[in-house]
């Protein structure tokens, strides 16, 4: 594993251990609902389902179709806030 992915893995471990990952997830969830992201993607999912047909669509279809759009639609302010939280957390628990 590259140095980068090693660091990622280490950070991830720390986040999980301290329960911070769950808290961040909930914060992100709340922010994405607030800014309407969830509704946007939900509408998009419905379109995919209508297109592919209710009987034939799989979760994989949705994931493939929706993931790039979902990633692109996250507002910068939300990304900024999450990053800030993670940085603050690492600053507090920095033994990495």
Partner 1 sequence: FQVNHPGDFSLSPIKPKLNVLSVMSPAGCSHVNGYKVDNWKQNLRVIYQCFVWSGTAETRRRKAKSCICHMCGAHLNRLHSCLYCVFFGCFTKKHIHEHAKNKRHNLAIDLLYGGIYCFVCQDYIYDKDMEQIAKEEQRKAWKLQGTPLLFLRIGEKYTTWEPTKRELELLRHNPKRRKITTNCTIGLRGLINLGNTCFMNCIVQALTHTPLLRDFFLSDRHKCEMQSNSCLVCEMSQLFQEFYSGHRSPHIPFRLLHLVWTHARHLAGYEQQDAHEFLIAALDVLHRHCKGDDNGKKANNPNHCNCIIDQIFTGGLQSDVTCQVCHGVSTTIDPFWDISLDLPGSSTPFWPLSPGGDGSTVNGESHLSGSTTLTDCLRRFTRPEHLGSSAKIKCGGCHSYQESTKQLTMKKLPIVACFHLKRFEHSAKLRRKITTYVSFPLELDMTPFMASSKESRMNGQYQQTVDVLNNDNKYSLFAVVNHQGTLESGHYTSFIRQHKDQWFKCDDAIITKASIKDVLDSEG
Residues 6+ apart with CB under 8 A from 32: 38, 74, 78
Cα 68 to Cα 1, 35, 83, 84: the distances in Å are 25, 18, 20, 24
59 binds partner 1 (CB under 8 A): yes
The least CB distance from residue 73 to partner 1, in Å, is: 18
According to the binding rule CB under 8 A, does residue 90 interact with partner 1? no
Binding site for partner 1 (CB under 8 A): 1, 5, 8-9, 12-14, 16-19, 22-23, 26-27, 30, 46, 49, 54-55, 57-60, 81, 84
């Amino acid at each position: 594993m590259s140095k980068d992915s090693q660091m990622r893995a280490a950070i991830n471990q720390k986040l999980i251990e301290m329960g911070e990952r769950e808290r961040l997830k909930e914060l992100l969830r709340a922010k994405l609902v607030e800014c309407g992201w969830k509704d946007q993607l939900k509408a998009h999912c419905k379109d995919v389902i209508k297109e592919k047909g209710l009987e034939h669509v799989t979760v994989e279809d949705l994931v493939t179709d929706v993931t790039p759009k979902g990633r692109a639609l996250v507002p910068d302010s939300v990304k900024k806030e999450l990053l800030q939280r993670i940085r603050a957390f690492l600053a507090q628990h920095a033994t990495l």
